[in-house]
């Protein structure tokens, strides 16, 4: 009986179920249709026995009018086998439900003891899997994904650009470039290099404390050194500092103020010309080179005001010695001439 139903295609089973009067077949699988049709045909054999569409289902049963051989045992008949009472049908359905419950319990027990992947396969039906997949939001097309990536990239680029603009790095770099693109900037850079070399000797850095190592970050301990400001109350700091300031800044600046060749230039007398400098940069660099050579090379001590030890300290502290100072003055001379030529 059921084997005949199993041989049918699902479309034929749907047609048989419709002829038998079975409703609510939406979503049934083939095995569910087979069970439903088999149960219905058994329960309604008295009314469906003579329907030709179900002859294959009832063909194993003998018609009630056919005589039964006295020798052979009486075969099954629709009247004796299929014409069952309502109680027998209910008992049959109870047994099927009991069988389904037993199978379900065995599956749940297997799923509990199986790995996570097998649990998922054992407890989810294909319909449930399809439902879960349908709930996952997917982009409608690759173009939408590309547009989303471009929007996020634009947002990140605008954010970084905004932070960069507000940091002031560009403005400060432009200001520094403007300052250094002049004779004053060149002279200031040369003086800073000389002062840096001098302070390493006159203002030593002493050990202060250690930064401990942090194992979580994989760092090591580091020493922290700070300038020894107590040296600033001693002559070992002020004697070399005063000598360097006099030879590299004060004396050249004094001569540059009084011997200012830019005051009598034609451009300075013109009403449209910019204001002249208070000190002539060319005179400043010439006097700086001259005084440096006289003090550190020829031993001029300003009538004994400067000791030989102080001269030696400054000469050794400045990068390149007095020759380095003279090279810086030579660069200043060339820069002054070049700037004067550009202004013509």
| Pairing mode of beta strands 222-227, 205-211 | antiparallel
User: Cβ contacts of residue 51 below 8 Å, gap of 6+?
Assistant: 19
Q: Tell me the pLDDT of the chain (344 aa) as tens digits.
A: 567 777 778 788 788 888 888 877 777 888 888 888 888 888 888 787 778 877 777 775 544 444 334 434 444 444 444 444 445 555 555 665 666 666 556 556 655 554 454 445 445 555 655 556 566 666 667 777 888 888 889 899 888 988 888 888 888 888 888 888 888 889 999 999 999 999 888 888 888 888 888 888 888 888 888 888 888 888 889 999 999 999 999 999 999 999 988 777 655 555 455 556 788 999 999 999 999 999 998 888 888 888 889 999 999 999 999 999 999 999 999 999 998 888 77
Segments in the chain forming alpha helices (H): 2-6, 10-20, 30-43, 45-48, 55-58, 86-113, 116-123, 126-134, 142-167, 169-180, 183-202, 235-245, 251-258, 266-269, 281-296, 308-317, 321-343
Cα dist. 319→119, 195, 267, 324 in Å? Answer: 78, 9, 38, 6
Please check whether residue 180 is in contact with residue 189, taking contact to mean a CB–CB distance below 8 angstroms: yes
Q: Which structure tokens are listed for 340?
A: 């004067």
CA neighbor of 92 nearest in space, from 28, 42, 46, 21: 42
Q: Which two tokens mark 243?
A: 């000598």
Q: Determine if the pTM surpasses 0.85.
A: no
**CA distances in angstroms from 276 to 73, 81, 92, 261, 270, listed in the order given:** 140, 129, 119, 10, 11
> Hey, where are the domains in the chain?
2-134, 139-181, 182-343
């Amino acid at each position: 009986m059921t084997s005949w139903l199993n041989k049918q295609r699902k479309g034929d089973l749907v047609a048989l179920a419709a002829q038998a009067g079975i409703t609510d077949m939406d979503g049934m699988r083939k095995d569910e249709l087979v069970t439903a049709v088999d149960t219905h045909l058994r329960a309604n054999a008295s009314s469906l026995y003579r329907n030709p569409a179900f002859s294959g289902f009832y063909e194993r049963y003998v018609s009630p009018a056919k005589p039964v051989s006295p020798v052979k045992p009486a075969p099954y008949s629709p009247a004796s086998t299929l014409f069952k009472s309502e109680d027998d049908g209910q008992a049959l359905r109870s047994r099927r439900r009991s069988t389904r419950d037993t199978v379900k319990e065995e599956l749940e027990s297997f799923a509990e003891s199986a790995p996570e992947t097998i649990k998922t396969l054992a407890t989810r039906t294909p319909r449930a899997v399809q439902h879960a997949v349908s709930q996952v939001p997917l982009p409608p097309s690759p173009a939408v994904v590309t547009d989303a990536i471009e929007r996020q990239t634009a947002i990140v680029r605008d954010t970084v650009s905004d932070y960069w603009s507000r940091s002031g790095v560009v403005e400060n770099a432009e200001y520094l470039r403007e300052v250094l693109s002049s004779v004053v900037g060149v002279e200031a850079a040369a003086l800073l290099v000389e002062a840096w070399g001098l302070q390493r000797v006159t203002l030593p850095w002493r050990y202060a404390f250690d930064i401990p190592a942090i194992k979580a970050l994989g760092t090591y301990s580091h020493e922290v050194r700070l300038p020894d400001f107590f040296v600033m109350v001693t002559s070992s700091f002020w004697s070399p500092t005063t000598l360097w300031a006099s030879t590299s800044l004060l004396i050249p600046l004094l001569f540059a103020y009084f011997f200012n060749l830019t005051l009598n230039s034609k451009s300075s007398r013109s009403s449209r010309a910019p204001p002249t400098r208070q000190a002539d940069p060319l005179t400043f660099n010439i006097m700086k080179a001259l005084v440096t050579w006289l003090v550190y090379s020829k031993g001029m001590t300003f009538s004994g005001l400067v000791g030989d030890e102080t001269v030696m300290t400054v000469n050794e502290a400045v990068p390149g010695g007095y020759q380095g100072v003279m090279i810086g003055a030579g660069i200043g001379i060339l820069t002054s001439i070049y700037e004067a030529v550009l202004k013509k």
